[in-house]
Chains A and B, each alone.
Chain A
Amino acid sequence: DTEVTQTPKHLVMGMTNKKSLKCEQHMGHRAMYWYKQKAKKPPELMFVYSYEKLSINESVPSRFSPECPNSSLLNLHLHALQPEDSALYLCASSQDQASSYNEQFFGPGTRLTVL
């Protein structure tokens, strides 16, 4: 199984809502990533988990809260978002973070719209 799955595919939320994005992989990868991608732009790294510990937080606002419950799952909890947070949120995984020569496998993304 070389697939990274993400749910939901689409999410519309108000600025006062709390929601969560989910990501799952069963490739035995020990590094998992959250990216934010605006239309026609490259992905921007938000968080990296390595062996279920947060290793990179790219100065992301606290209204985004990542969680890695186990080696296969990655969540992104959303609270009090702003309309400018509307984007495609991509999850990715790789064998491990230290071996930077390993390619990342991306999920299809969650299209988030904040009203």
Chain B
Amino acid sequence: AQSVAQPEDQVNVAEGNPLTVKCTYSVSGNPYLFWYVQYPNRGLQFLLKYITGDNLVKGSYGFEAEFNKSQTSFHLKKPSALVSDSALYFCAVTRPGGGADGLTFGKGTHLIIQP
């Protein structure tokens, strides 16, 4: 079985400050990890993914995430938050050969950037 935990329901950050949205995972074998963002009444948009290689992954809109195997974490980060980053963020996991299982999503974290 595979699972994702996003421990924070909501994260509040002042505009211009760095932000971190936390994610930990559990999967058999090596993970494939994804971050998606969802704006109100919209579908999910892909931000970035970790497959293999460099532990620091860069994605869209200035976001990056760091894969930490020992801590089974894949936290999403951005050096300087924008008000427009306010949205619902989902971490998701699958594994090599995991097409039959599909993606497993975390419960989501509301990110609120205050002007």
Contact = CB atoms under 8 A, between A and B. Distances in A.
Contact of A103 (B46, B88, B98): B46
Interface residues of B, number: 28
Interface stretch (B17-25, B36-44, B66-74, B78-86): B36-44
B49 to A, nearest CB: 6
A4 interface: yes
A42 B100 contact: no
Interface of B: 32, 34, 36, 41-46, 49, 51, 88, 90, 94-103, 105-108, 110
Contacts of B51: 101
Interface residues of A, number: 30
Given A42-B90, A103-B34, A90 B43 contact: yes
Contacts of A96: 99
Contacts of B108: 40-42
B95 A100 contact: yes
A86 to B, nearest CB: 14
